[in-house]
């Protein structure tokens, strides 16, 4: 395929590209030829004449991911605590890696098309004696790198939907002090709360603190208060001190 701007049929390109996107985020195999063709398709859509399809491509990709993650969340939320914990961990592991590959597939879009949404009045260095104007604020609704968009979709369409049951499941795993594998899985789940907002440079841990940390500290305090009360009732003073 010639990498030159030209007239493009969006629907024709999207048919093949959408199949690849779905496969990538589920870590299903994609043939090398298909992958290379899709990279060319993304360039063709972004450089299309007389008008670029870049924004339509972005919105279509986001919509596809939202539908996929929403359907998955609707399945996961119906599971019991232990099954929900394991299924979330497995699904997140696939999606997280898939988002990385998807970012690579959309490298041209990330590198070229997003430039117009980045501040242009900032420099990477300061010139002595020159006062630089403040950096223009970034539109919170502007397109972002595909990986960051994918992670945001996971936050809004997965974690926000199953949040209550997921947090309860994680706390159960942490409190019961399970084996090393289960604690490792709990760590991965908690890490997902951080990764889905890592693009937020001002408050990278804000979502994690709100969703899990505050709830966890409250639940742990309640658990140990109940345990202490039970020990006071069941044990003598010397036994209580020993415990």
Q: How confident is the model at residue 228 (pLDDT cuts 50, 70, 90)?
A: low
Q: How confident is the model at residue 226 (pLDDT cuts 50, 70, 90)?
A: low
pLDDT, tens digit (0-9, with 9 covering 90-100), for 98-138: 999 999 999 999 998 887 766 554 444 444 444 444 444 45
Average pLDDT over every residue of 73-101: 96
The answer to whether 106 touches 146, Cβ cutoff 8 Å, is yes
Residue ranges and CATH numbers for the domains of the chain are 10-117+142-242 (1.20.1310.10)
pLDDT at 128: 46
pLDDT, tens digit (0-9, with 9 covering 90-100), for 145-186: 999 999 999 999 999 999 999 998 988 887 776 577 888 898
pLDDT at 237: 45
Question: Higher pLDDT residue, 61 or 221?
Answer: 61
Does residue 34 sit in helix, strand or coil?
Answer: helix
The answer to whether 205 touches 194, Cβ cutoff 8 Å, is yes
Tell me the whole-structure pTM to 2 decimals.
0.80
Average pLDDT over every residue of 10-34: 96
Average pLDDT over every residue of 203-224: 67
pLDDT at 85: 96
Q: How many residues does the chain have?
A: 243
The answer to whether 6 touches 83, Cβ cutoff 8 Å, is no
């Amino acid at each position: 395929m010639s990498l030159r701007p030209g007239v493009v049929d969006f629907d024709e390109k999207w048919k093949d590209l959408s199949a690849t996107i779905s496969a990538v985020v589920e870590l299903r195999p994609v043939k090398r030829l298909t992958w290379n063709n899709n990279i060319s398709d993304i360039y063709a859509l972004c450089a299309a004449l007389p008008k670029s399809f870049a924004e339509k491509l972005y919105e279509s990709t986001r919509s596809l991911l939202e539908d996929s993650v929403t359907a998955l969340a609707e399945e996961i939320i119906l599971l019991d605590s232990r099954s929900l914990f394991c299924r979330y961990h497995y699904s997140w592991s696939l999606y997280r890696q898939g988002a990385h590959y998807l970012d690579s597939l959309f490298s041209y879009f990330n590198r070229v098309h997003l430039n117009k949404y980045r501040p242009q009045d900032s420099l990477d260095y300061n010139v002595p004696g020159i006062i630089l104007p403040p950096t223009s604020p970034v539109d919170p609704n502007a397109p972002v790198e595909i990986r960051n968009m994918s992670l945001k979709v996971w936050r809004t369409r997965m974690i926000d939907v199953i949040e209550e049951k997921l947090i309860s499941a994680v706390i159960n795993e942490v409190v019961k002090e399970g084996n090393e594998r289960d604690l490792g899985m709990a760590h991965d789940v908690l890490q997902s709360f951080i990764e889905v907002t890592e693009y937020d440079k001002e408050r990278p841990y804000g979502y994690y603190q709100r969703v899990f940390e505050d709830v966890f500290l409250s639940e742990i305090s309640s658990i140990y208060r109940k345990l202490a009360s039970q020990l006071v009732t069941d044990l003598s003073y010397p036994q209580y001190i020993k415990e």
